[in-house]
């Protein structure tokens, strides 16, 4: 069987660090979605998730890297999507993302520095200096892009999560 080849535009250092990742944390709005909120009647909220992101998330979890969704908002759509995909950790309505990742570390047994985290906005910056790999998306706040170790080619809601999952799977297989 051929060994997977990682994206040639990704530095060896980022690949090395992704190869050591033991848990992936994801924001929702702007990362798993395009960031838009659509409201319907009777307090209904709609979110669009990219099916290929979900497929890659399942592959990453099957490879032994659990996923945590960490979001500042509470949404039935997010809870449903996390459940459908079998995401083991869902933290919704989070005010302090770093405190939440520390709680996740205690709960999961994975140190914060052994995690990667994908974010797009200012509340996500609190974790960037603490995780092993901080990831931004091209539609992120400029400060997030500046501080991220890696910025995906694909925007949030349109394959960014698939990109980082695929890179992580590749980096882990290269490492082994």
Q: Write the pLDDT tens digit of every residue in 122-149.
A: 999 999 999 999 999 999 999 999 999 9
pTM of the full predicted structure? 0.93
Phi and psi of 109, rounded to 5°? 80, 10
Q: What is the pLDDT of residue 54?
A: 96
Exposure of 5 by Cβ count < 10 A (0-12 exposed, 13-18 middle, 19+ buried)? exposed
Contact 98, 113 (CB under 8 A): no
How is residue 43 annotated by DSSP?
A: G
Cα 61 from chain centroid (whole Å) = 12
Contact 166, 56 (CB under 8 A): yes
- Is the predicted pLDDT of residue 7 greater than 90, yes or no? no
Contact 114, 22 (CB under 8 A): yes
Please, what is the average pLDDT of the chain?
A: 93
State the alpha helices, DSSP H only, in the chain. Answer: 12-19, 51-62, 76-85, 97-108, 125-128, 142-147, 160-175
Of 53, 46, 16, residue with least CA distance to 166: 53
Q: For residue 74, give both structure tokens.
A: 């509470």
Number of Cβ atoms within 10 Å of the Cβ of 100 = 20
Q: What is the pLDDT of residue 2?
A: 35
Instruction: Render pLDDT for 65-115 as a digit per residue (tens, 0 to 9).
Output: 999 999 999 999 999 999 999 999 999 999 999 999 999 999 999 999 999
């Amino acid at each position: 069987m051929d060994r997977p080849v990682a994206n040639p535009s990704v530095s060896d250092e980022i690949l090395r660090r992704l190869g050591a990742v033991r848990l992936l944390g994801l924001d929702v709005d702007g990362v798993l979605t395009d960031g838009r909120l659509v409201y319907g009647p009777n307090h209904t909220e709609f979110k669009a998730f990219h099916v290929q992101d979900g497929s890659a998330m399942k592959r990453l979890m099957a490879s032994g890297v659990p996923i945590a969704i960490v979001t500042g908002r509470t949404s039935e759509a997010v809870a449903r999507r996390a459940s459908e995909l079998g995401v083991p950790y869902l933290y919704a309505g989070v005010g302090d993302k770093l405190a939440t990742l520390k709680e996740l570390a205690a709960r999961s047994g994975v140190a914060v520095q052994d995690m990667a985290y994908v974010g797009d906005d200012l509340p996500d910056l609190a974790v960037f200096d603490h995780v092993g790999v901080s990831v931004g998306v091209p539609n992120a706040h400029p400060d997030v892009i500046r501080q991220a170790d890696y910025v995906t080619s694909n925007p949030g809601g349109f394959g960014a999560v698939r990109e980082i999952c695929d890179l992580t799977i590749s980096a882990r297989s290269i490492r082994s």
